[in-house]
Amino acid sequence: MWQLATPASAAASAGPPKPTVILVHGAFAESASWNAVVRYLRARDYPVIAAANPLRGLASDAAFVGALVSSVEGPVVLVGHSYGGSVISVAAHGQANVRALVFVAAFAPDTGESAVELSSRFPGSTLGQALAPPVVLPDGARDLYIAQDKFWSQFAADVPSDAGRLMAASQRPVTEGALAEGATQAAWKTIPSWFVYGDADKNIPPAALAFMAQRAKAVKTVVARGASHSVLVSRPHSVGRIIVEAASSKAGEP
């Protein structure tokens, strides 16, 4: 008869279970972009889910992530990258088990604000110039991609070029409407938040990221010098450390 062995790390652990970390990717990325962060967290015995964000619309994407949060027993730390920050800001509302929010080069919109509006409020984004012609869908919606020959310099300039080319080919499109859709909730107003971003971000102006972190009264903000919008890929240990700090904090406990 087969018997599953109990991992030594699990046997040695004591105290309450660690919160589950749910990672939500943003536009032009996919769940595997979190791989190095997942390795970092799993090495520290955190349960992790890298969600497949649909990127179809803010309300529907948030409902998808919210359902995933509701399925988890015990506390959750929600982490969003880029547009994924908008998603977790809505999805965490009313979820009693969400203890902390972590925004990784991410939007943290107030009610009624959209990703497009927040990004254009501050100078510095070159995303519009890097987009490929939209793909018109059967229902009339428009899918947006970053042109593959511009992806590396626009999205991931501090990632090795061969990895950047793979990211360009595997990017997931976001609908134009999702980026323009206003948030219906702003969970960062009631749930403690942490922020990490790069000062060389070309998608979301660093000034916008600083503004959102200050407005949210972030417990901690880390600015990675020279890091691109893909700070989760290029600086996974920096991102992992702030997630662990958020997960270890008592700030969000009832």
Contact residues for 59 (Cβ-Cβ < 8 A; gap 6+): 90, 181, 184
pLDDT tens-place values along the chain, 254 residues long: 333 333 333 333 456 789 999 999 999 999 999 999 999 999 999 999 999 999 999 999 999 999 999 999 999 999 999 999 999 999 999 999 999 999 999 999 999 999 999 999 999 999 999 999 999 999 999 999 999 999 999 999 999 999 999 999 999 999 999 999 999 999 999 999 999 999 999 999 999 999 999 999 999 999 999 999 999 999 999 999 999 999 999 865 66
Give pTM, 2 decimals. 0.93
Contact residues for 227 (Cβ-Cβ < 8 A; gap 6+): 158, 197, 198, 199, 200, 201, 234, 235, 238
Distance CA 30, CA 59 (A): 19
Q: What six digits make up the tokens of 251?
A: 């700030």
Contact residues for 201 (Cβ-Cβ < 8 A; gap 6+): 105, 209, 227, 228, 229, 231
